[in-house]
Structure 1
Amino acid sequence: MTHTPLPPLRTTVRGAGPGLPLAHGAGGSVAAHFAALMPALAEQHTVVAPDYPGSGGTPLPAGPLTLDGLADALVAAATGAGVESFTLVGYSLGTLVSVRAAARHPGRVRGLVLTAGMAGPDNRMLASLELWRTLLGAGDRKAFARFSALSSFSTDFFNALPQEQVPALLHLLASAVPEGTADQAGLVATADTTADLPGIAVPTLVVATTRDNLVSPANSRLLADRIPGAEYAEIAAGHAVMVERQEEWQKLLLEFLARHGL
């Protein structure tokens, strides 16, 4: 499939050492999804943290957003930062981007960490993404924030919040929706990396979020089953693992990197 190359992604670079580009999820930014991890990762790695078009400081693309285009732009952000080979850390949509980058640039990708991911959307995810785009198209950010809270957080985590704190959380979610959310959701709805998985030949860690109301953990198990030699781990968290179980996620990631010398 042909695609129009994306302009450079707005990228933050921190630390020194082996390369570690981060691929964030749809409807977020690299800061929203990885800010809590970046200090620990940057202690021994060069962390390359780009924002997708319509997120953070990266403008919307002039043409359609494609998986190949985004994968190439992620690799370009890494090489532009002076990192010639690297381990990709993908979250949610970022798992699709990372797998496609590994398939398109096998000489550069040394490892993969795929969290709360998928090879393509299942029926539940497609319905959720359609609702995302409908609410955003209607300009109803309050309703979008409510649905985002219900799908991003595990039931136990959300119910444990003091009721007086919920309005502020919903206001924060409504005010932080990136301009590119609808385009990114549309990309998730059409992406499919199933055919890429058997060709992945680098150390891979797949992390399932077992209380995820947005991306079923069955999708992570499929990734682990289809990628040769992939390691599999579980975290009892909702989709927003960086909010619910950040320290556990960080520990799994750092141990994997150390174990494989990445």
Structure 2
Amino acid sequence: MIYHLNGHAAYAYGGGKAFDAALPTVVFIHGAQNDHSVWGLQSRWFAHHGYGVLAVDLPGHGRSSGPALTSVEAMADWLLALLDAAGVRHALLAGHSMGSLVALEASLRAPGRVRGLAMLGTTYPMKVSDQLLNTARDDEETAIDMVNIWSHSSIAHKPSSPGPGFSVLGGSRRLMQRMSAINPDALFHTDFSACNAYANGEAAARAVACPAVFIFGAKDMMTPPRSTKTLTGAIAHGKVVTVDAGHSLMAEQPDAVLDALIAFAGTLKYEEITQ
């Protein structure tokens, strides 16, 4: 579905179903140098089991046009504007990595609209090393290779990739390369800089009153579980689920991530999401 915000196309994948704002809504928010496709299994399951789904492409990513936004705060404002355009009053927000910060900031800016918060592969502060920031600016292809190595726990993944010849790491790399081809304006550096600069996470986390779940990869080197104590401490009521994966946990363990999201969504009453 294409919406129009500030003169630019804003794309949200509906999981294979026409979006219906009357249904309980789940919004999926991707991370740096990614698009809605990282939520393929999860978005389709929810869309075919009674939910309205909006798996967004942030500006400058995938099918959403316009320049990439340079701050988490701006992305959160964009997300809330998209919900307005789609006629969504309340939603469960699920964000991965950079997208988790966007979901967190949106929950601070519009707490009455967020009925549940799922944060995957998250941490705060989400600092990026100077070396990686500089590489993302000066040699994006090398930065893509670096991040893909660090984001995956193995070169070959089973049983999440049973298809002969299919590579989880290779698929993630090609997606990032495609984002570079679509938007050559140092997209990775823009995304990383936004994560690195975000300074409102602890205050936003302490303000979270809605149900929350953290889904972590046990082998995550990008946002390792040991770095998550600021967020889990600030959102003390949040449930923690750990899956056997690296940072790209939706690709490495898609079923385990889906199971965790289904269980979390099942704790929210229909009225809590739609009213």
TM-score for the superposition, normalised by structure 1: 0.84
Q: Name the structure 2 match of 1:21.
A: 27
Counterpart mapping for 1:36-47 below 5 A: 36-42=41-47, 43-47=49-53
Relative distance call for 1:160 and 1:108 in structure 2 (3 A) is closer
Q: Name the structure 2 match of 1:212.
A: 220
Q: 2:8–2:66: 8 Å Cα contact kept in structure 1?
A: no
Give, in whole Å, the separation in 2 of the partners of 1:104 and 1:6: 23
- AA at the equivalent of 1:22: F
- CA displacement at 1:159 relative to structure 2: 6.0
- CA displacement at 1:152 relative to structure 2: 1.2
Q: Name the structure 1 match of 2:155.
A: 158
- CA displacement at 1:227 relative to structure 2: 0.9
Q: Name the structure 1 match of 2:134.
A: 134
- AA at the equivalent of 2:50: Q
- AA at the equivalent of 2:195: V
Relative distance call for 1:139 and 1:207 in structure 2 (3 A) is same
Q: 2:157–2:252: 8 Å Cα contact kept in structure 1?
A: no
2:165 is equivalent to residue 176 of structure 1 = no
Q: Report the count of equivalent residues.
A: 245
Q: 2:216–2:225: 8 Å Cα contact kept in structure 1?
A: yes
2:78 is equivalent to residue 67 of structure 1 = no
Q: 1:24–1:51: 8 Å Cα contact kept in structure 2?
A: yes
Q: CA RMSD in A?
A: 2.6
Structure 1: gaps (5+ residues): none
Counterpart mapping for 1:1-262 below 5 A: 9-14=10-15, 15=17, 16=20, 17-31=23-37, 33-42=38-47, 43-61=49-67, 65-122=70-127, 126-127=128-129, 130-139=130-139, 141=141, 143-154=142-153, 157-158=154-155, 169=170, 172=174, 175-178=177-180, 179=183, 180-192=187-199, 193-261=201-269, 262=273
- CA displacement at 1:202 relative to structure 2: 0.2
Fraction of identical pairs, as percent: 21
TM-score for the superposition, normalised by structure 2: 0.80
Structure 2: gaps (5+ residues): 1-5, 159-164
Q: 1:116–1:220: 8 Å Cα contact kept in structure 2?
A: no
144-153 vs 37-46, greater mean Cα deviation: 144-153
Q: Deviations over 1:130-176 (max 9, x none)?
A: 444433433451x233212211101xx22669xx987x928736633
Give, in whole Å, the separation in 1 of the partners of 2:25 and 2:156: 39
Give, in whole Å, the separation in 1 of the partners of 2:228 and 2:83: 25
- CA displacement at 1:24 relative to structure 2: 0.8
Relative distance call for 1:160 and 1:94 in structure 2 (3 A) is closer
Give, in whole Å, the separation in 2 of the partners of 1:198 and 1:6: 35
225-234 vs 171-180, greater mean Cα deviation: 171-180
Q: 2:13–2:36: 8 Å Cα contact kept in structure 1?
A: no
Give, in whole Å, the separation in 2 of the partners of 1:80 and 1:173: 27
SS at match of 2:228: helix
Give, in whole Å, the separation in 2 of the partners of 1:146 and 1:77: 32
Relative distance call for 1:203 and 1:133 in structure 2 (3 A) is same
Relative distance call for 1:173 and 1:21 in structure 2 (3 A) is closer
- AA at the equivalent of 2:104: V
